[in-house]
Amino acid sequence: MCDGSHKGNTFTAMNYTADVMHDKWFCACKHSGTKPMCDGSHKKL
Ligand code: FES
């Protein structure tokens, strides 16, 4: 959930609406090619 911490830097908030109820993994490393979802790119950092 956005808490406004991105204000004052180059990051922007992204909207996401779940289409179905099931587990989802959101990217927290900011390197995913399928934002806002994790695509495993964090494993190469
Ligand atoms: S957490 Fe960013 S790609 Fe997995």
- List, for residues 9-18, the tens digit of each pLDDT value: 888 888 889 8
pTM of the model: 0.73
Q: How many CB atoms lie within 10 A of CB 41?
A: 15
Structure confidence at residue 3 as a pLDDT band (50, 70, 90): confident
In terms of DSSP H, where are the helices of the chain? none
Nearest residue CA, atom 1 of ligand 1?
27
**How many angstroms separate the alpha carbon of residue 35 from the centre of ligand 1?**
9
Cβ–ligand 1 distance for 29 under 6 Å, the answer yes
What token pair was written down for 29? 């490393």
**How many angstroms separate the alpha carbon of residue 8 from the centre of ligand 1?**
23
Q: How many CB atoms lie within 10 A of CB 31?
A: 15
Cβ–ligand 1 distance for 32 under 6 Å, the answer yes
Instruction: Report the pLDDT value the prediction gives residue 39, as an integer from 0 to 100.
Output: 97
CA-based radius of gyration for the chain: 12
